[in-house]
Structure 1
Amino acid sequence: MTTTSSVGSAGRCTRYALALLACGSLFPAIGSALPPAEVQGNTTTAPAVSPLPQASPANSYSLSFKQLGRRDPMYLRGVESTDSADFGIRTDQVVTGVQLVLRFSYSPSMLPELSQLNVLVNDKVAASLPLPKEEAGKDLEKVVEIPARLVTDFNRIDLQLIGHYTMQCEDPLHSSLWARVSNDSQLNIQYSPIALKNDLALLPAPFFDRHDARPLKLPFVFDAAPGPAKLEAAAALSSKFGALASYRTATFPASIGQLPSRGNAIVLVTRRDALPLGELSGNPATGPSVTMMTNPNDPYGKLLVISGRNDAELKTAALAVALGSKALSGATALIDRLDPVPVRIPYDAPNWLPADRPVKLGELVDAQQLHVSGYSPREIIIPLRLPPDLYEWRNRGAPLQLKYRYTPQQFSTNSALLVHLNDHLIRSMQLPSVPNLNGEPQWLEWLKKDDSLPREASMYLPLDISTFKAQLQLRYMYDYIKQGECRDVIVEDMRGQIESDSTLDLSGLDHYTPMPDLAKFRDSGFPFTRLADLSETAVVMPDANGPEVLSAYLTVFGRFGDSTGYPTTGVQVIQARDVETVSDKDLLVLASASDQPLLKLWTDSMPARSESSHHFFDLSDLALRIHDWFSPDSEAAVRKTRSTLAWSGSGTPYLAGFESPLKSGRSVVVIASSEPSRLEEVTAAMIGGDDYKELIQGRLAVIQDKQITSLTADQPYYVGQLGWFRHLQLLLSRHLGWLLFSVLLGFALLCALIFLGLRAQAKRRLS
């Protein structure tokens, strides 16, 4: 990709930004980041800024510990115990105040004069909370003021329990020494916004800021109703930002001809004069170009303007941002040339575990995260994004070759390394103490030069308990041997390590799965994401694309990017009249009101349909429990258990999956609502969250506010490839009549062979 920048080189921009940063540090009163009248402590160092009016002091937001990645409450045990949570501050914000709302409880047995709960920010003490006896055992809420001077870009909050239960000698791990900190505890952050330079070298900031833990909400603005090429460009961008925001989810509200009143946005235009874009409005595009500019409605907001003389040039500029934004600099970049996009192969998504070779665990997490220390160390968590169509029936699972090290104790009986997959115990491996290394003299010699022992173990991770976003959990459990009164002192010299070259191998597993399966679509975007660039996917848009439909379209593609970690550069957008031209692709169909002709054309294939104000949904709950095992047509047995629910009134949003009427083995997923504004309910249900008690699954899921109802769950076809022997096993398992016939046929052949053999032997004896 070749770019021409309208503002200096990247090196000059960097030096200029550093110079402004230094000036801002020396003269804090100058700049656009003006703090409120009352500010505790100093503000954090800010990027290069330009003078702007004073920002409102009302800017604030809250982050719970759950949003910061703490799935469970913190449990602090023993005379001294620490746990932590990390948070960041956006590049375009300067902190003016932080309050920690701490929700916790603690043991009634601890002595208040010797016990306390310390709050540390970046290893500096922010507060020390007393633990009075009268509040012990209760659910408490305390507000801790954190000085703004302690807060930087990336921050760590440590909660340290100092606990004692007696004035005499004590057991450092006594059960009465505990405190529990809820993951509903939260940080309240006040800030002043600052205006960043218009420099493409900052990308993806400020549109995506890696310091921010809140869900990403990034508006898209079109100059007019978009055509297919412009929609493909928007999909590449939304999937790119969806991939970046994978850890915090993303939504992309869309508008036509209207810039947002505040904040940042992506703008896609072929006619710059259609929007109030300042100087850009009077300068028509001369080719594919990318511009960062200030939002005319917000001096602190930025617009990323993707433009071209036509939709094809606009798509080129969008792909340049999606694939190579790190090469851009200056306020404007003109894209002279874009190299061909690399061809993707199935299952090569960057976020997915490779299915063609053993994967080292060191490729999945930073090596430092594989090291732990202490008697009760943290759990080692390795995220596993498995291809969603791995064949699991009659399969031992994925082989894991685990290499690990541990510090052998002088006296212990119950130390172990526990291996879990999605909280299911896979294996428990003993960690022998030094006296128990009998028959292994080489290890005793080893310990003279290294205090940790290397070990290996082989096991299989069962696929039937794995999910797309699976977690491999490893925990060292060291047995603490008490020495007696006044002799127990905890020395944190225990170490554990999972070797980076431990491997998980998926290469011997088949890819074959029953369809349709909306759970796979919800979690991973399958089957569309089988190819990371979605080059075997076509999107069938309604005849009229309003902002609600566009928002749903962009958010779904953000989910695809979240799944694969790669922009959807190969997707094709069409309308219903062109569907025959994409018969060899998987189809994503969006429908609102009555503007999607395919819903009527494919009525016989769909589990849901609407006719004016009349709506019909297939029901097949009994299909999960009733099966005519002796029917030669197993699918007919399923169809017998179906019924249809019909009603009149306003429509309900739904997702439906079925086999493509254009080609067997290809899939169709329909996202539909008779009211365009309710398509947002479908995308919100796909993202999920604590508000949803059920999950999207089956082949038909109806969404009503926060309620998800799966009405049909039969899976009449398969996708993928399977070896002939496994395919025969699966076929016979689904048809009991064929299985009995095969057994009888095999028995008859065996009898025939025995008969022929005995007759031949009799002839030889007689002759």
Structure 2
Amino acid sequence: MTEKIRTPWRAAPVLAAIALLSAPLSGPGSALAQPAPAAAAQPEAFSATGRSYQVTFRQLGALFPLQLRGVQGTGGVQFGVRGDEVVTRARLHLNYAYSPALLADISHLRVLVNEQVVATIPVPNAQGGQALQRVIDIPTRLIGEFNRLNVELIGHYTMECEDPAHTSLWANVGNDSVLELSVDPLALANDLAFLPEPFFDRRDSRPLNLPIVFAGTPDAAQLEAAGTLSSWFGALAGFRGASFPAAVGQVPPKGHAVVLALGAQGVPGLNLPAATGPSVDVVSHPDDPAAKLLVLRGRDAQELKRAAAALAVGAPALSGSSAVFSEFKQIEARKPYDAPNWLSRDRPVKFGELVQADMLSVAGYSPDLIRVNFQVPPDLFAWRKQDIPVHVKYRYTPQNGADKSTLNINVNEQFLRALPLRAADYSPPGRVQGWLDRALPAPMLASGDLLPAEDFFRVPLFKLPARSQLQFHYYHEIKKEGACKDVLLDNVRGTVEPDSTIDITGFSHFLAMPDLAAFGNSGFPFSRLADLSESAVVLPPKPEQGDLSAYLSLMGLMGNVTGYPAHAVTVALGSGQLDALADKDLLVIASSAGSPLLEQWAEHLPFSLKGDARSFRLSDYASRLLNWWDPDQRDRVRPGRNAIAFTSTSSDAVIAGFESPLQSGRSVVLLTSNQPAGLQQAITALLTPDLLKHIQGSAAVVRGKQVDSLVAEQTYHVGSLDPLTRVRWWLSRHPLALIVLGVAAAAVIAFMLYITLRARARARLQKG
């Protein structure tokens, strides 16, 4: 891969100016299993020189209110500032409450940004126990690229001897507290070396919204190139989520965007020379000096696809304002279930591969949880209660004697087990050991006073949705020494070792379908191959803007769940090419219920949307299930038996799954609506965790912010089992067949015994 480079102007001094006091912290979502709903993001307010926006503590990672306990309890959130912006004003709207037992003269709350105090809040007794709010201005000089905002309780309830862990020492900070930032844009150089910035900035914890512009009406190959890009950015966005509004022939008036141009196609206001090969450029926005456009060009659609794939896998190697790809080696095909974001099925996976090492250590008597996020393929076969083995290694500060300290292990906030923390052994070291300690101090300092331990345990597979989290909580018992003797030394530490492992090897892949929960959470069955090489997206012959936006956002979702660009997906416009796609799983998008394809497949659909007329098939059994996603219960789900028809002018969207009419064992997932606005509602539901959890079964209806699963039938299976397991599993689901086989086996055995005994009797008579 070679590149043709234009000389850019640099903005390094300007970028360095905003790096003051930046904290070396990880992203705000690294400790979370699920993000805050993308739909909850506050709208931005633009001014002549910049813009202002608000984010809540919940959006910054605090899923629950901050609980401050003890004489010095601390809690907080992380936030970042984009590299192309500088903060001109920062303001905190703090919602809080505190114990009425606190002594006002010697107790207070402190607000810190990057360990620097920005405000001290008094705690008068008259306001104790009330819901309070305070607005705090934060000096902008303290704010860097990555920042930590903490609220600290300095609490005392008596002037005499006090218990440092007394229950009256508390304060709560609401996760609805708001951080308000006003920013001005920074002019960046047109340099590919900044990629993926400024189009995606990892410092920004808000959902990514990146328009993708087609210079002309796109064909299937151009859409495949755009799908590669949206899935790449979707993978980068991670916990934030991403959406990709589509436009044809017009660049949005403000903000960053991606432009795809074919041959001599141009975009109004954008001066681009004719393409000389697969290339990528960063240019300034013609109407917004603070924004950039990422322009991909090719002389034909295949060159455009090559440029998109080269950018998705080779962005870190690029520099300059323009690059022309003269050579690009074909990307190696992916293997089933090898998505970078999924646990490997070929070997045990170390915790250090799933989370940064510094997130595996905690300190203090009331430490935060150690969280390990991971994703499992949704079709792991869990019959007969198969469990996932976990080998955890950990170290901790031991107590002087036996106590009730434990390491508590949860999965997705469900308790699994508690491991006792053994007391220290204080037998003095021998003379030889003392010499070794003085001669080799470094290895001894590496472990410090932490006592190593390890344990094996198993996690029931039915407790693991596609996206899961292991949670480790150190509980250190506080020993009561008596009045005026209780002194807490902040010297307790705990860690989970990065070489701890979780192992899903040896599991079969077999799943009852359709299963919209598997599609919404993991993109299954399309994500079985991370590059989507066995998947096809079917769009209308003349897709509207809503169809294009839905397709791009779905490709972003695929990249998000796999962590890999979907560069091998096939796009078909209309139903004329369906026969050639029989061996693929199909994702069908239609913003009009009058699509010829829907009429052709009407007998396979559990619904009908024609104009204002609607009809749906219903499952009476599924409506009574409390936890229908439990594998044991899902095996008993029955097809829909009831139906309802009515007339309405609402813009409903339907997400449905069924077996492909083209080939058994292949799947179809359909997103459709009777109005274009309804299709965007379906995409919003898939991108919003609070709505996504309601998308289950084989058909779900989306009406605004309400999602209802109407049908939970399962008509086919995907995957494979070994022959013996397959027979045993089939017999377990058909007890009558098992009885018949048992009776037949008894009859055969009886007949054989009868023949044998008659032969022996006959032989005895002949001898007599």
Q: Does the TM-score normalized on the shorter chain lie above 0.5?
A: yes
Distance 1:362 1:24, change over 3 A: closer
* Residue-by-residue CA offset, 1:42-63 (whole Å, 9 max, x unaligned): xxxxxxxxxxxx9725611011
One-letter code aligned to 1:605? H
Q: Report the alpha carbon displacement of residue 257 of structure 1 after superposing the two structures with TM.
A: 1.1
Q: Report the alpha carbon displacement of residue 455 of structure 1 after superposing the two structures with TM.
A: 1.7
1:25-64 superposed matches below 5 A: 56-57=48-49, 59-64=51-56
* Residue-by-residue CA offset, 1:94-142 (whole Å, 9 max, x unaligned): 1011111111111111101110111111111111111111111011111
Distance 1:601 1:154, change over 3 A: same
Distance 1:204 1:623, change over 3 A: closer
Q: Is residue 458 from structure 1 mapped to residue 453 from structure 2 by the alignment?
A: no
1:335-374 superposed matches below 5 A: 335-374=325-364
What residue number does 2:560 align with?
Answer: 562
Quick one: distance in 1 between partners of 2:164 and 2:17? 52
Q: Report the alpha carbon displacement of residue 558 of structure 1 after superposing the two structures with TM.
A: 0.7
Q: What is the aligned counterpart of 1:326 among 295, 305, 316?
A: 316
Q: Report the alpha carbon displacement of residue 6 of structure 1 after superposing the two structures with TM.
A: 2.8
Quick one: distance in 2 between partners of 1:181 and 1:55? 31
Would the aligned equivalents of 2:594 and 2:610 in 1 still touch at CA under 8 Å? Answer: no
Q: Is residue 136 from structure 1 mapped to residue 128 from structure 2 by the alignment?
A: yes
Matched position secondary structure for 1:576: coil
Q: Report the alpha carbon displacement of residue 611 of structure 1 after superposing the two structures with TM.
A: 4.2
One-letter code aligned to 2:459? L
Give RMSD over aligned pairs: 2.9
1:528-543 superposed matches below 5 A: 528-543=526-541
Q: Is residue 669 from structure 1 mapped to residue 666 from structure 2 by the alignment?
A: no
Would the aligned equivalents of 1:7 and 1:332 in 2 still touch at CA under 8 Å? Answer: no
Would the aligned equivalents of 2:407 and 2:475 in 1 still touch at CA under 8 Å? Answer: yes
Q: Report the alpha carbon displacement of residue 745 of structure 1 after superposing the two structures with TM.
A: 3.1
Quick one: distance in 2 between partners of 1:454 and 1:594? 62
What residue number does 1:468 align with?
Answer: 466
Matched position secondary structure for 1:593: coil
Q: Is residue 429 from structure 1 mapped to residue 427 from structure 2 by the alignment?
A: no
What residue number does 1:703 align with?
Answer: 702
Quick one: distance in 2 between partners of 1:712 and 1:23? 57
* Residue-by-residue CA offset, 1:341-393 (whole Å, 9 max, x unaligned): 11100011011111111111111111221122222211100001111111112
Q: Report the alpha carbon displacement of residue 207 of structure 1 after superposing the two structures with TM.
A: 0.5
* Residue-by-residue CA offset, 1:666-723 (whole Å, 9 max, x unaligned): 0000010121222100000111245x49611110001111111111101111101112
* Residue-by-residue CA offset, 1:592-640 (whole Å, 9 max, x unaligned): 22563221111111212334543332112236779xxxxxxx999945x
Q: What is the aligned counterpart of 2:394 among 398, 404, 412?
A: 404
Would the aligned equivalents of 2:110 and 2:120 in 1 still touch at CA under 8 Å? Answer: yes
Normalising by structure 2, report the TM-score. 0.89
1:151-170 superposed matches below 5 A: 151-170=143-162
Matched position secondary structure for 2:325: strand
* Residue-by-residue CA offset, 1:290-347 (whole Å, 9 max, x unaligned): 1111111111111111111221111111112111111221111111111101110001
1:733-752 superposed matches below 5 A: 733-749=732-748, 751=750
Would the aligned equivalents of 2:686 and 2:692 in 1 still touch at CA under 8 Å? Answer: no
Distance 1:327 1:55, change over 3 A: farther
What residue number does 2:682 align with?
Answer: 682
* Residue-by-residue CA offset, 1:201-232 (whole Å, 9 max, x unaligned): 11101110111011111111111221000000
Distance 1:468 1:693, change over 3 A: closer
Q: Report the alpha carbon displacement of residue 425 of structure 1 after superposing the two structures with TM.
A: 1.2
Distance 1:470 1:25, change over 3 A: closer
What residue number does 1:179 align with?
Answer: 171
Quick one: distance in 1 between partners of 2:18 and 2:607? 61
Distance 1:5 1:624, change over 3 A: same
Q: Report the alpha carbon displacement of residue 643 of structure 1 after superposing the two structures with TM.
A: 2.4
1:238-637 superposed matches below 5 A: 238-270=230-262, 274-280=266-272, 283-434=273-424, 451-574=449-572, 575-594=574-593, 596-611=595-610, 613-622=612-621
Q: Report the alpha carbon displacement of residue 751 of structure 1 after superposing the two structures with TM.
A: 4.7
Matched position secondary structure for 2:614: strand
Matched position secondary structure for 2:512: strand
Distance 1:332 1:71, change over 3 A: same
Q: Report the alpha carbon displacement of residue 430 of structure 1 after superposing the two structures with TM.
A: 1.1
Would the aligned equivalents of 2:350 and 2:499 in 1 still touch at CA under 8 Å? Answer: yes
Distance 1:164 1:586, change over 3 A: same
Q: Is residue 659 from structure 1 mapped to residue 659 from structure 2 by the alignment?
A: yes
Would the aligned equivalents of 2:365 and 2:490 in 1 still touch at CA under 8 Å? Answer: yes
Quick one: distance in 2 between partners of 1:555 and 1:743? 53
One-letter code aligned to 2:61? G
Distance 1:165 1:568, change over 3 A: same
Q: Report the alpha carbon displacement of residue 743 of structure 1 after superposing the two structures with TM.
A: 2.8
Would the aligned equivalents of 1:7 and 1:329 in 2 still touch at CA under 8 Å? Answer: no
Matched position secondary structure for 1:610: strand
Structure 2 runs not aligned, ≥5 long? 21-45, 428-432, 438-443, 626-633
Quick one: distance in 1 between partners of 2:16 and 2:672? 54
Would the aligned equivalents of 1:411 and 1:481 in 2 still touch at CA under 8 Å? Answer: no
Q: Report the alpha carbon displacement of residue 17 of structure 1 after superposing the two structures with TM.
A: 4.3
Distance 1:735 1:96, change over 3 A: same
One-letter code aligned to 2:590? A
Quick one: distance in 2 between partners of 1:56 and 1:635? 59
Would the aligned equivalents of 1:74 and 1:181 in 2 still touch at CA under 8 Å? Answer: yes
Q: Report the alpha carbon displacement of residue 272 of structure 1 after superposing the two structures with TM.
A: 5.2
Distance 1:500 1:21, change over 3 A: closer
Matched position secondary structure for 1:233: helix
Distance 1:674 1:109, change over 3 A: same
Matched position secondary structure for 1:247: helix
Q: What is the aligned counterpart of 1:70 among 62, 72, 81?
A: 62
What residue number does 1:147 align with?
Answer: 139
Distance 1:747 1:219, change over 3 A: same
What residue number does 1:37 align with?
Answer: none
Would the aligned equivalents of 2:534 and 2:569 in 1 still touch at CA under 8 Å? Answer: yes
Distance 1:181 1:760, change over 3 A: farther
Distance 1:409 1:752, change over 3 A: farther
Normalising by structure 1, report the TM-score. 0.89
Q: Is residue 81 from structure 1 mapped to residue 80 from structure 2 by the alignment?
A: no
Quick one: distance in 2 between partners of 1:762 and 1:106? 94
Q: Report the alpha carbon displacement of residue 748 of structure 1 after superposing the two structures with TM.
A: 3.8
Quick one: distance in 1 between partners of 2:571 and 2:642? 34
Would the aligned equivalents of 1:542 and 1:595 in 2 still touch at CA under 8 Å? Answer: no
* Structure 1 runs of 4+ with >4 Å offset: 19-26, 445-450, 623-626, 634-639, 749-767
* Residue-by-residue CA offset, 1:545-579 (whole Å, 9 max, x unaligned): 11111111111111001100000011001131000
Quick one: distance in 2 between partners of 1:123 and 1:321? 39
Between 597-606 and 259-268, the greater mean CA deviation after superposition? 597-606
Distance 1:17 1:188, change over 3 A: closer
One-letter code aligned to 2:352? G
Q: Report the alpha carbon displacement of residue 395 of structure 1 after superposing the two structures with TM.
A: 2.7
Would the aligned equivalents of 1:119 and 1:158 in 2 still touch at CA under 8 Å? Answer: yes
Quick one: distance in 2 between partners of 1:754 and 1:110? 87
Matched position secondary structure for 2:238: coil
Matched position secondary structure for 2:602: coil
Matched position secondary structure for 1:279: coil
Quick one: distance in 2 between partners of 1:652 and 1:723? 43
Matched position secondary structure for 1:244: helix
